[in-house]
Structure 1
Amino acid sequence: MTLKTPPVARPLGVAQPSPVGTARTLLLAGVLLCLLTVGMTGFAAYLTITVAETGVWKTALGAATLVVVVLALLTARPLISGFRQQVASTTAAEAGDLVSARKFRARAAQSGWTALGSCLPLMFIATFTMFLLANDHAVQTTFFDAQFMAQSVGDVTVAFGENIKIALLAEAFVLVWALVIALARLAPSKAGRPLRWLATAYVDVFRAIPSIIVIYLVGFGLPLAGVPILSEMGPMWSAVLALTLTYGAYVAEVYRAGIEGIHWSQVSAARSLGLSYGKTMRHVIVPQAVRKVTPPLLNDFIGLQKDTALVTIIGTVDAFTQAKMYSSNYFNLSSVTVVAILFIIITIPQTRFVDRLLERDARRQLSKG
């Protein structure tokens, strides 16, 4: 009978490394960054008071920078709490209570990370404010002139309706056209080989050509060639056709990935029930694939909406065209900033909606798994 030797007990103070080193480093880094943040925000506030142009912007920037300075000072609160936790961790370690020491060390480290994470966005705001006020507030006057933005926002917003119209029409056509291309790429047997080659060539070509070139060729090339019907479409419908051709290639690949992601047993089960290949795709595979690819489809449509600004090159009076008219007349780019804000307003809600769809799909997959 072999007797097992019990493990040798080690002193608590020697068995484990010091529990406060990492937390101390984080807290010291937080102190340095906090001081830098307070200095930057204070300097930005000083520039706002002394340099910014009088009027709405000076009031808005002044109030914003003062709030940022207060927030920068408040970043010291987690640091104070962190140093208290560090002291408690050191005391517990010296007393041999490593469990409490680790607990206080973790809290101290968390306080350090909180301070670091709070300082970074405040530093970004201060840097952006100083950028606006650079060169005797020339940047702010050029891009964010409040008076000029108010003057141009009405006409630019009305013209932005053309962008929305083009985007909605193109999205409707893309949904249908891309599905046709995707099904052609998946055509079965030797009989479908020419379709597969043709669809593959289409996808490769239109994914390789920039959107602005396709818009230019369609908008100017078709009227110049005198192609019947197509040459009489006008700038808006030319833009819709060009965007449909371009994004049809991208969305076709999204469809194809969704269709190929359906398990092969679904096809086998449908065919064993006597369904033809076409009915199998129509009633079984495509509906499931569309539900799976909805989030990436919405991402592509967000890109399509932004590319509607490119239609200005073929004479479509959209928001960007209207903004360029104002800019060329007044030598100021604030009207273009209005266009950017309008695109942000319609894009961010869609982006958040896509994120929610992705989260819902992830929860659904976890519940199944």
Structure 2
Amino acid sequence: MTTRLEPAVQPVRAARPAPAGHANAVLVAALLLSMLTIGIAAWAAWLTIEVAEAGPWRIVLGAATIGVVVLAVLTLVPVARGFRERGRCLRAFAADDVVVGRAARYRATHAGWLAMGYCLPVLVIAVFTLFLLANDHAVQSTFFDTAFMAQSLGDILVAFWQNVQIAVLAEAFVLVWGLVIALARLLPGDAGRPIRWLATVYVDTFRAIPSIIVIYLVGFGLPLAQVPFFSDLSPLWAAVLALTLTYGAYVAEVYRSGIDGVHWSQVAASRSLGLSYGKTMRFVVVPQAVRRVTPPLLNDFIGLQKDTALVTVIGTVDAFTQAKIYSSNYFNLSSVTVVAILFIIITIPQTRFVDRLLERDARKQRAKG
């Protein structure tokens, strides 16, 4: 009788995790990127000091670019911290302490990504500096000639007041006109169908036509056609009318989305209490809708403020028109850069304010569950 031998069952062992994993690749990439950033920043600093004209401007530019070099060197700090955590990870895995090893590996990887994240903006600044210095700093002298910018600033600020006036007036009219169009698109019943169609055609038409064409048609077409009252409008009021017509279509859609977002039970409860459709909209729906659409309304108004530069086509002496006069007389575009900076100054605070409103609304929604 033969005895059958059963093969021995080998115990299955868990696969031993890689000690450093992809932390090695991340740290090496971060180190290489940091060295590249330091090299380009140092090159930009050296060229700036060499190319810049002697005097205070060279001192300012030199200090700024040296500061960029210092920031580039500081990107090595998280890289060094990452390699230190990598060593701790290897020692922990060698001692079979998997928990400590994995934690150290995560910190090493995070430090590498952190270094690369800080390298990118410094690298962008250094490359932009090299761009300004290209062709014997021709770009810098064409777009960022500080002496010429200071010379044109006063007249451009006076003309920029026209842009501010047009934007404020147009925004006030757009708020009312857009709400009227939105309510027209939402009129109920068969009797309101023709008005809904008319409002829809208006919105679709003016959202399709570029703003500059509307401004041109209103600014030149109405006086040419001798339309009563409208033909006597000044360029400022013609620009306000054109921007109101254009942005009224966009804002009407924003209002309509806010009104549609109010729960139908609000309307049902109001109508059950005996309120008419008009009073329901006035006292219940519209106030809630306006609060909801404030951030997108502000976004549209930021676009409207930028489009005030288009009124130059109808002869309004705004900031862009004044800058073009300077640039054509002196063959330098630094005055146009001043206009861009002014728009940035008035736009960025509004953009950050919109972000805060959106964040606040998001917190409220999360709190409500």
TM-score interval, normalised by the smaller of the two chains: over 0.9
The 1-side partners of 2:61 and 2:124 are apart by: 14
How big is the shift at 1:60? 2.4
Question: Which residue of 1 is the match for residue 51 of structure 2?
Answer: 51
Question: Which residue of 2 is the match for residue 350 of structure 1?
Answer: 350
TM-score, with structure 2 as normaliser: 0.96
The 2-side partners of 1:350 and 1:115 are apart by: 31
How big is the shift at 1:282? 0.5
How big is the shift at 1:53? 3.1
How big is the shift at 1:15? 3.3
Q: What letter corresponds to residue 78 of structure 2 in structure 1?
A: P
- 8 A Cα contact 1:214 1:246, kept in partner: yes
Q: Deviations over 1:44-66 (max 9, x none)?
A: 01110111233454332211110
Mean Cα displacement is larger for which, 210-219 or 59-68? 59-68
Question: Which residue of 1 is the match for residue 317 of structure 2?
Answer: 317
Q: Deviations over 1:246-294 (max 9, x none)?
A: 0000000000000000000000000000001110000000000000000
Q: Percent identity?
A: 71
Question: Which residue of 1 is the match for residue 256 of structure 2?
Answer: 256
- 8 A Cα contact 1:185 1:197, kept in partner: yes
Question: Which residue of 1 is the match for residue 134 of structure 2?
Answer: 134
Q: What letter corresponds to residue 226 of structure 2 in structure 1?
A: G
The yes-or-no answer on 1:21 pairing with 2:21 is: yes
Within 5 Å, which residues of 2 pair with 1:202-213? 202-213=202-213
Q: Report the secondary structure of 1:115's partner residue.
A: helix
Question: Which residue of 2 is the match for residue 218 of structure 1?
Answer: 218
The 1-side partners of 2:227 and 2:181 are apart by: 24
Question: Which residue of 2 is the match for residue 4 of structure 1?
Answer: none
Question: Which residue of 2 is the match for residue 62 of structure 1?
Answer: 62
Q: Deviations over 1:307-345 (max 9, x none)?
A: 000001101011111111111111100000000000000
Within 5 Å, which residues of 2 pair with 1:99-138? 99-138=99-138
Q: Which runs of 5+ in 1 are unaligned?
A: 1-7
Question: Which residue of 1 is the match for residue 201 of structure 2?
Answer: 201
The 2-side partners of 1:56 and 1:170 are apart by: 43
The 2-side partners of 1:184 and 1:355 are apart by: 30
How big is the shift at 1:33? 0.2
The 2-side partners of 1:270 and 1:277 are apart by: 9
The 1-side partners of 2:183 and 2:54 are apart by: 61
Within 5 Å, which residues of 2 pair with 1:28-177? 28-177=28-177
The yes-or-no answer on 1:187 pairing with 2:187 is: yes
The 1-side partners of 2:12 and 2:44 are apart by: 56
The yes-or-no answer on 1:334 pairing with 2:328 is: no
- 8 A Cα contact 1:38 1:69, kept in partner: yes
Aligned in 2, Cα 1:139/1:57: closer, same or farther, shift over 3 Å? farther
Question: Which residue of 1 is the match for residue 5 of structure 2?
Answer: none
C-alpha RMSD of the superposition = 1.2
How big is the shift at 1:209? 0.3
How big is the shift at 1:77? 1.1
Q: Which runs of 5+ in 2 are unaligned?
A: 1-9
Q: What letter corresponds to residue 137 of structure 1 in structure 2?
A: H
How big is the shift at 1:21? 1.7
The 1-side partners of 2:312 and 2:220 are apart by: 12
- 8 A Cα contact 1:56 1:146, kept in partner: no
How big is the shift at 1:114? 1.1
Aligned in 2, Cα 1:53/1:264: closer, same or farther, shift over 3 Å? same
- 8 A Cα contact 1:219 1:239, kept in partner: yes
How big is the shift at 1:19? 4.0
